[in-house]
Structure 1
Amino acid sequence: MPFFKGLKPAACWMCLLGAMGVAHWVMAAYSATPESKGAIAGTTIRLNAQELQWIAENPRVIVASKQYPLYLFKDEQGQWSGLYADVLTRISAMTGLQFVHEETFSTEQMLEQLESGSANMSTTLSMNDERKGFLDFSHAFGGAGWVLIGRAGEPPLKSLDQLSRRVLVLPARHALESMIRRDYPAIHLHSVKTYAEARALVEIGEADATIYSEIGAHVYPSGQLRVGNVVEGKWDADYLALGKGQPQLLSILNKALEAFSPAELRAIRLKWSSGSAPLQAPAPWQPLTTWGWGSGGAIGIFALSILWHRRLKAMTRQRRAAETDLREQLAFQHALMDAMPDPMFVRDLEGRLVMCNKSYEESLSTRFDQVQGRQLIELDILPRETAELLHAEVMAHLGTRKASFCERRLLFKSGPRDIYQWAVPFYSADGTMRGLLGGWCDIGKYKKQA
């Protein structure tokens, strides 16, 4: 063409390759756009007059947000993303509230903002006795274990007992700090500002271990750290934490969380717990600042872009295949458990509910998302004396590590029942006890039928 005839060959190559590179970037960016950014089906919840008035007067809710990969973090476009961001997006669609993230850089700073009232709430704070004094917590909507993080090349850490007379580094005012100081006085506990500082101290050998969430622990494959066992008896439940004095906001958030179906919560959690964050679009290429690049440099960039595109497609296929396999496994497990005609449950080492079947929900007239992550004594699904008795028995079974099978009469909300009750501790592949599996059968019902 006349245009190309007037150009030198090298310039022609530069124009052609530049156009193809831009086209390639546009296609890659389009194909890598997360599905989660599509439209969310609108679901409204029933709010009372006081709650509606509160939303009208306070449409913007300030969220003190600290980057916590997979749970809450800024993506390459500077937008807040992650499991908690998806939950807030869903709540926003149900209530009309606008959640505005105000970035903080340490747990201590976040707590100070909530105490002072400069922020309304946070998504990444765990509950402990100290925090319950000045914060309110929503219903739990999931959770994960705390895991011990040590150096690569050393034996994996299996328990806090191994850290006696050794250095454990944690961010200041960590959720487990007071418990560790009380129950493990021989551990040399060192406080820093952030998780990044804690990891760095372990990597360079200035500390022996730190503690991180089970899901986020695998985000940093630096080769210098090694993930150990779950901290026994400690479950990091997911809550929305609010500064005291906001009862309407707490009620609104709880109603929104109750409106989530178990399947919806599982889908959001599965999206982020599959082992890696969703793939982001490649960063836009910066404009060339000079035309002094030779044709060899341009060809090299073009070749790299092709390799990156292939790598991106391969990673996307692997991620989707892994997600499909995990979804199928979880679906089978839930289907199998729900198919059991008698109530069944799984509790962690603190007696908090991890899983239950449909029969359990129907027998106690509740829903899983309302009782997940909570102890029997924290709920009103059984008479108080029955809840206290059963919780004490759960903790006793976990302490003795013994199974139990017995016939007994228990008082339920609907009246006394004759049941056959069973409870069995269960263990991980490495022999660490993880919780209690149990259930019961209403033998009085079968006696009547006979």
Structure 2
Amino acid sequence: MLFYRGLKPALGWLFLLAVLGWTHSGMAAQMALDQANASASVQAIELDAHEQQWIRDNPRVTVASVQYPLYLFQDEHGQWSGLNNDVLKRVSAMTGLQFEHQESFSTDHMLDRLQSGVADISTTLAMSDDRKAFLDFSHAFGGAGWVFVGHANTPRVESFEQLAKRVLVLPARHALEDAIRRDYPSIEIRSVKTYAEARALVESGEAYATIENEIGAQLYPLGMLKVGALVEGKWEADHLAVRKGMPQLLSILNKALEAFPAAELRAMRLKWLAGVSPPPVPSVWERLVEWACWAMGVIGVFGMLSLVWNRRLAAVIKLRCAAEKELGDQLAFQHALIDSMPDPVFVRDLHGRLIICNRSYEEALSVRLDQMQGRLLIEVDAFPETTARMLHDEFIAQLQTRKSRFSKRQLLFKGGSREVYQWTVPFYSGDGKLRGLLGGWTDITQRRTESGCRCLQ
């Protein structure tokens, strides 16, 4: 009877996994169909006059391309293909730019071409501090983690501490090289030209480990190699790297990426990257449970499934309630934090409407949050009309330029003119989209009065 009882959740899980697998396949097919339909009717994005003129003057953009299977590679016909090439094709359809690939043979070679101006952009470079000196990076459109790759006969590499006084081999000018040299000086770093050379040194035992993109690490047979843990706190976001001095091109690419349909991007990633990572090896217990499930699957499956489903639903509800409570606690902490700030602070959306402010902001303007929330500054009787109009116009202009602003100025409040140090900065969502402005000010006049300062202003 106990064995029969233990089979209930196992049989339920088996049925659920089959349903989920069928659903995932259906979604993949639908996304691929949506991608094909979307590619057939791509709408051009809106560009300003300077950007349109730049495209007319520079219709062809040279791409420094290195063979990076699945992301960017040459097929059997010598044509460039892969996820990043599909992204460039979509950007080309949206902007009219024509991208010409120029093959590079290593990361170092590709960086040299960008530095010298021979090439304009790259699609496979990770962002790093030294590269920012001569490259600008577009908004991210995906990414993956970094993983350690070691020898199959050595312990699985879990962290940088495990590599102390050992040889870590990396392709020259790797995105993580400077950070590793700075934070882990005890690690001996050896540079080679390509990832293939790095793998060969690990296989031969001349190096203890290397670091690869988690997708790239699974592309080739591991042989004498073993994939270790993810590199903690390091994420390789997918960007388009543009050489310095081409702000119009960077702006055009960012607008195209912002207008890129999320469903189409997901379909592209699924087309190229689905199934790269190997499934985890089941444990002995999981194999025994699977065998038992198949042996007893014909006995009361549908009746037991309802019990398992109810238990699973209760667990999901419990987890959701816990997540909602945690989110509520975080929001309460954020409200307490912003209210504790002595200077006025506010957040406005893309149209200049107030999202939230702290108590200092309410007290400075003598208006409550519920009277201002969701409204423009010119719609609230908080400032003199001329001041409100001026500040609102500045907010809209700043949202268009996306530049931070810090200034010491005189502002006319209802209680009179005051000298303030005003700051406003754009803020972005996790996917890099502009969401609004965060700002505030420090009342210099009040500070001087409170401190008893009589110095000349």
Is residue 122–residue 242 contact of structure 2 (8 Å, CA) maintained in 1?
yes
Q: Which residue of 2 aligns with 1:238?
A: 238
The question of 1:172 aligning with 2:169 is answered: no
2:231 counterpart SS class: strand
CA 1:382–1:160 in 2, change beyond 3 Å: closer, same or farther? Answer: farther
The CA distance in 2 between the partners of 1:373 and 1:177, in whole Å, is 26
The CA distance in 1 between the partners of 2:217 and 2:41, in whole Å, is 32
Write out aligned runs for 1:289-304 (5 A).
Answer: none
Q: Deviations over 1:162-219 (max 9, x none)?
A: 1111110001111000000000011110001111111111111111111111111100
CA 1:381–1:65 in 2, change beyond 3 Å: closer, same or farther? Answer: same
The question of 1:110 aligning with 2:168 is answered: no
Q: Which residue of 2 aligns with 1:371?
A: 429
Q: Counterpart amino acid of 1:383?
A: L
Q: Which residue of 1 aligns with 2:438?
A: 383
The CA distance in 2 between the partners of 1:373 and 1:238, in whole Å, is 12
The CA distance in 2 between the partners of 1:40 and 1:177, in whole Å, is 42
Is residue 64–residue 121 contact of structure 2 (8 Å, CA) maintained in 1?
yes
Is residue 120–residue 242 contact of structure 1 (8 Å, CA) maintained in 2?
yes
The CA distance in 2 between the partners of 1:266 and 1:121, in whole Å, is 23
Q: Which residue of 2 aligns with 1:162?
A: 162
Is residue 215–residue 275 contact of structure 1 (8 Å, CA) maintained in 2?
no
Q: Deviations over 1:41-89 (max 9, x none)?
A: 3221001111111111111100000111111111122111111111101
Q: Which residue of 2 aligns with 1:211?
A: 211
1:383 counterpart SS class: strand
The CA distance in 2 between the partners of 1:249 and 1:181, in whole Å, is 33
Q: Which residue of 1 aligns with 2:263?
A: 263
Write out aligned runs for 1:185-204 (5 A).
Answer: 185-204=185-204
- Structure 1 residue runs without a partner (length 5+): 1-33, 278-332, 345-360, 386-450
TM-score normalised to the size of structure 2? 0.55
The CA distance in 2 between the partners of 1:76 and 1:341, in whole Å, is 52
Q: Which residue of 2 aligns with 1:298?
A: none
Q: Which residue of 2 aligns with 1:71?
A: 71
The CA distance in 2 between the partners of 1:162 and 1:246, in whole Å, is 42
Q: Which residue of 1 aligns with 2:135?
A: 135
Is residue 142–residue 372 contact of structure 1 (8 Å, CA) maintained in 2?
no
Q: Shift in Å at residue 271 of structure 1?
A: 1.8
CA 1:382–1:48 in 2, change beyond 3 Å: closer, same or farther? Answer: closer
Write out aligned runs for 1:399-418 (5 A).
Answer: none
Q: Which residue of 2 aligns with 1:348?
A: none
Is residue 429–residue 435 contact of structure 2 (8 Å, CA) maintained in 1?
no
- Structure 2 residue runs without a partner (length 5+): 1-31, 278-315, 328-349, 357-373, 375-398, 400-427, 441-457
Q: Deviations over 1:78-124 (max 9, x none)?
A: 11111111110100111111111100011111111111110000001
Q: Which residue of 2 aligns with 1:293?
A: none
2:130 counterpart SS class: helix
The CA distance in 1 between the partners of 2:164 and 2:70, in whole Å, is 31
Q: Deviations over 1:103-153 (max 9, x none)?
A: 001111111111111000000111111111111111111111111111123
Is residue 71–residue 216 contact of structure 1 (8 Å, CA) maintained in 2?
no
CA 1:67–1:372 in 2, change beyond 3 Å: closer, same or farther? Answer: farther
The CA distance in 2 between the partners of 1:124 and 1:180, in whole Å, is 21
Is residue 215–residue 276 contact of structure 2 (8 Å, CA) maintained in 1?
no
Q: Shift in Å at residue 384 of structure 1?
A: 5.8
CA 1:187–1:341 in 2, change beyond 3 Å: closer, same or farther? Answer: closer
The CA distance in 2 between the partners of 1:52 and 1:341, in whole Å, is 47
Is residue 123–residue 240 contact of structure 1 (8 Å, CA) maintained in 2?
yes
Is residue 40–residue 93 contact of structure 1 (8 Å, CA) maintained in 2?
no
Q: Shift in Å at residue 154 of structure 1?
A: 2.5
Write out aligned runs for 1:286-435 (5 A).
Answer: 371-372=429-430, 381=436, 383=438
2:47 counterpart SS class: coil
CA 1:60–1:341 in 2, change beyond 3 Å: closer, same or farther? Answer: farther
The CA distance in 1 between the partners of 2:112 and 2:245, in whole Å, is 16
Is residue 125–residue 241 contact of structure 2 (8 Å, CA) maintained in 1?
yes
Superposition misfits of 4+ residues, deviation over 3 angstroms: 34-40, 340-344, 363-366, 370-374, 378-382
Is residue 106–residue 193 contact of structure 1 (8 Å, CA) maintained in 2?
yes
Q: Counterpart amino acid of 1:165?
A: K
The CA distance in 1 between the partners of 2:176 and 2:217, in whole Å, is 16
Is residue 61–residue 99 contact of structure 2 (8 Å, CA) maintained in 1?
yes
CA RMSD of aligned residues (A): 3.4
Is residue 147–residue 228 contact of structure 2 (8 Å, CA) maintained in 1?
yes
Q: Which residue of 1 aligns with 2:253?
A: 253
1:263 counterpart SS class: helix
Q: Shift in Å at residue 221 of structure 1?
A: 1.3
CA 1:217–1:88 in 2, change beyond 3 Å: closer, same or farther? Answer: same
Q: Counterpart amino acid of 2:194?
A: T
Q: Which residue of 2 aligns with 1:400?
A: none
TM-score normalised to the size of structure 1? 0.56
Percent pairwise identity? 61
The CA distance in 2 between the partners of 1:98 and 1:239, in whole Å, is 18
The CA distance in 2 between the partners of 1:76 and 1:157, in whole Å, is 36
2:221 counterpart SS class: coil
Q: Shift in Å at residue 261 of structure 1?
A: 2.1
CA 1:165–1:341 in 2, change beyond 3 Å: closer, same or farther? Answer: closer
Q: Shift in Å at residue 270 of structure 1?
A: 1.8
* Higher Cα Rg, which structure: 2
The CA distance in 1 between the partners of 2:49 and 2:58, in whole Å, is 14
The CA distance in 1 between the partners of 2:435 and 2:274, in whole Å, is 34
The CA distance in 2 between the partners of 1:138 and 1:132, in whole Å, is 12
The CA distance in 1 between the partners of 2:171 and 2:46, in whole Å, is 40
Q: Which residue of 2 aligns with 1:56?
A: 56
CA 1:141–1:343 in 2, change beyond 3 Å: closer, same or farther? Answer: farther
2:170 counterpart SS class: strand
Q: Shift in Å at residue 380 of structure 1?
A: 6.3
Q: Deviations over 1:299-318 (max 9, x none)?
A: xxxxxxxxxxxxxxxxxxxx
Q: Counterpart amino acid of 2:266?
A: R
